[in-house]
């Protein structure tokens, strides 16, 4: 017997037929003798519809009212899944965030979970009940519904798993696991059996949109063993109920990964834009003067490259922002130009950031050099490079994205055998 959390995303509960299929997955785990809590998202498209209504009502709407409107999507799915489970003879009950309660801070629209009373759910398990929980939401200190931000149901699931001491948290989605890279770009991409939390964090934030970044952070902190697996497979196919190695990708502590590869995967993020400030005064406080105003304008700055200046007085500063924010960023920078002191702004949109990720890099030299050589061999020009302990990110021109991903995937031996 194990205690497990099962989370199903919007495409997995898009209509009643799919909800029935989800119920069969739940039934399989219940009949295996497990204690099961289920976390659901809104039916696919519902959240977008609700968000659009709040925007039509007023572009500058109140986040507390946005939350009251948008949280209804998950509430509906939870009730419907409970009904279907009951019709299959399973003792199920739906719960909303305010009932358990799942407590959050007051940051409506992007709240963080502060506390979950796991005993509420554990008591239900004792009564043989399957708890079906509306994801993406909790109860703020103002006694109002607070939502966790888009994709928040993943975070709900991991937080609940931590609160009840679950043996694992299964994130069911429309893909069957985490791949070495995007299979639409590189058909030779392989599904990973395991990936460490740290690597997944890099994969998630770099554009492999399988899991919300915050949910991975939370899983890492609380060491929640998290499976990414498909809800579209036959719930009763052989191996689906395997308690140790179910089909999918296990995100876990690196110690659980015995044969660590040097490189685990290749991620990419499109629509990056590069901004270069030429001949910036090289003095203390200049970075703050540049990036402070950008942050205040809610522009997400990603790669930042600053070279040591030749003479210690002037330097070039390069960084990337999403292409959609480029015009806004340039306007902000023109405004602070007198204060910062630089000669010119140069910018370029439509770029791509390709990243090589792997915990094994820590102990292997030459990983970066291999990437640079492989890209050079294909004639791909490198615009900027940033590195961390477990990743190398390379900014290149947009049209070379797919070629670069395939090249790197191959050079590190990630292609299917």
Provide the minimum distance between the beta carbon of 176 and a second copy in the complex, in angstroms, as a whole number: 26
Helix axes 72-87, 63-70, angle to 10 degrees: 20
Total of chain residues touching a second copy, rule CB under 8 A: 36
Q: Is 379 annotated for ligand binding? A: no
Cβ distance to a second copy smaller for residue 16 or 288:
16
Is there a binding annotation on residue 184? yes
For 397, the enclosing helix (H) or strand (E) is strand 391-397
Q: Does 53 engage in binding with a second copy (CB under 8 A)?
A: yes
Least Å distance, CB 53 to a second copy, is 6
Residue closer to a second copy (CB basis): 65 or 167: 65
Give CA–CA dist 312/281, Å, rounded: 9
Phi, psi of 306 (to 5 degrees): -135, 125
List of residues 6+ apart from 91 with CB closer than 8 A: 127, 128, 129, 130
Smallest separation, CB 285 to a second copy (Å): 39
Near a second copy in 144-163, by CB under 8 A? 144
Q: Write b or e for each residue in 248-277: b if 16 or more Cβ atoms lie within 10 A of its Cβ, otherwise e.
A: bbbbbebeebeebbbbbbbbbbebbbbbbb
Please state, in angstroms and rounded to a whole number, the distance separating the CA atoms of residues 43 and 81: 11
Residue with tokens 């439509």: 350
Alpha helices in 129-243 (DSSP H): 152-163, 197-205, 213-222
- Residue 244 in the binding site for a second copy (CB under 8 A): no
Angstrom CA distances, 129 to 36, 122, 168, 282, 381, stand at: 8, 9, 18, 64, 58
Site string for a second copy, 55-74 (x = CB under 8 A): -xxx-xxx-xxxxxx--xx-
Helix (H, G, I), strand (E, B), or coil: what is residue 252?
A: strand
228 marked ligand binding residue: no
Is residue 174 marked as binding?
yes
With contact defined as beta carbons under 8 Å apart, do 206 and 198 qualify?
A: no
Residue 360 near residue 263, CB atoms below 8 Å: yes
73 is annotated as contributing to ligand binding: no
| Residue 297: both structure tokens together | 């304008």
Tell me the CB-side half-sphere exposure of residue 169, using CA atoms within 13 A. 31
Residue 225 CB coordination number (10 Å): 19
Binds a second copy (CB under 8 A): choice among 41, 47, 75, 261: 75
If the CB atoms of residues 84 and 384 are measured against a second copy, the closer one turns out to be 84
Q: What are φ and ψ of residue 332, in 5° steps?
A: -60, -45
Residue 68 CB, shortest distance to a second copy, in Å, is 4
Binding mask 283-322 for a second copy (x = CB under 8 A): ----------------------------------------
What gap in Å lies between CA 294 and CA 330, rounded to an integer? 9
* Residues forming beta bridges with residue 408, ordered by sequence position: none
Q: Which is nearer to a second copy, 99 or 313 (CB)?
A: 99
Determine if 79 is a binding residue for a second copy (CB under 8 A).
yes
Cβ proximity to a second copy: between 90 and 211 the closer is 90
Strands 130-134 and 92-95 turn out to be: parallel
Q: Of 380, 378, 319, whose CA–CA distance to 345 is shortest? A: 319
In the bound complex, what is the minimum distance in angstroms from residue 73's beta carbon to a second copy? Answer: 8
Residue 72 CB, shortest distance to a second copy, in Å, is: 4
Helix axes 197-205, 213-222, angle to 10 degrees: 170
Q: Which of 84, 157, 303, 340 binds a second copy (CB under 8 A)?
A: 84
Is 209 annotated as belonging to a binding site?
Answer: yes
Q: Interface mask (CB under 8 A) for a second copy, residues 5-44, using x and -?
A: -----------x--x-------------------------
Residues 87 to 106: which contact a second copy by CB under 8 A? 87, 93-94, 96, 98-99
Whether 17 has a binding-site annotation, put simply, is no
Q: How far is the CB of 20 from a second copy (least distance, A)?
A: 8
The 3-state DSSP class for residue 145 equals strand
Query: Which residues are near a second copy by CB under 8 A?
Result: 16, 19, 50, 53-54, 56-58, 60-62, 64-69, 72-73, 75-76, 78-80, 82-84, 86-87, 93-94, 96, 98-99, 143-144
Binding-site members are 7-10, 47, 74, 173-174, 179, 184, 209-210
Binding-site members for ATP are 7-10, 173-174, 179, 184, 209-210
Binding-site members for substrate are 47, 74
């Amino acid at each position: 017997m194990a205690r497990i959390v099962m989370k199903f995303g919007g495409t997995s509960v898009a209509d009643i037929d799919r909800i029935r299929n989800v119920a069969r997955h739940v039934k399989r785990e219940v009949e295996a003798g497990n204690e099961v809590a289920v976390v659901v998202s809104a039916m696919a498209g519902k959240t977008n519809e609700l968000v659009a209504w709040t925007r039509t009502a007023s572009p500058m709407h109140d986040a507390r009212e946005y939350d009251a409107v948008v949280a209804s999507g998950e509430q509906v799915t939870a009730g419907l899944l409970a009904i279907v489970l009951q019709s299959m003879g399973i003792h199920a009950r739906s719960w909303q965030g305010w009932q358990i309660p799942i407590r959050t801070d007051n940051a409506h629209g992007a709240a963080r979970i502060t506390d979950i009373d796991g005993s509420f759910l554990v008591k239900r398990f004792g009564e043989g009940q399957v708890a079906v929980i509306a994801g993406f939401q909790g109860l703020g200190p103002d006694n109002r519904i607070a939502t966790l931000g888009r994709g928040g149901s993943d975070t709900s699931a991991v937080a609940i798993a931590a609160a009840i001491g679950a043996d694992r948290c299964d994130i069911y989605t429309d893909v069957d696991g985490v791949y070495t890279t995007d299979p639409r770009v590189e058909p030779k991409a392989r599904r990973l059996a395991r990936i460490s939390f740290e690597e997944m964090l890099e994969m998630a934030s770099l554009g492999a949109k399988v899991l919300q970044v915050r949910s991975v952070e939370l899983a890492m902190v609380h060491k929640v063993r998290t499976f990414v697996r498909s809800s579209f497979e036959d719930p009763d196919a052989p191996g689906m109920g395997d308690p140790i190695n179910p089909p999918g990708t296990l995100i876990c502590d690196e110690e659980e990964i015995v044969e660590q590869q040097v490189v685990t995967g290749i991620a990419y993020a499109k629509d990056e834009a590069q901004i270069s400030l030429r001949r910036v005064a090289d003095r203390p406080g200049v970075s703050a003067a540049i990036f402070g105003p950008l942050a205040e304008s809610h522009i997400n700055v990603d790669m930042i490259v600053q070279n040591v200046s030749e003479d210690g007085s002037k330097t070039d500063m390069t960084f990337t922002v999403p292409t959609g924010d480029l015009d806004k960023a340039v306007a902000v920078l023109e405004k602070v130009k007198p204060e910062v002191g630089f000669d010119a702004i140069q910018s370029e949109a439509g770029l791509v950031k390709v990243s090589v990720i792997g915990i094994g890099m820590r102990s292997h030299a030459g990983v970066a050099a291999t990437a640079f050589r492989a890209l050079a061999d294909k004639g791909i020009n490198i615009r900027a490079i940033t590195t961390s302990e477990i990743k190398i990110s390379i900014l290149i021109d947009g049209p070379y994205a797919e070629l670069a991903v395939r090249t790197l995937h191959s050079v590190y031996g990630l292609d299917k055998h």
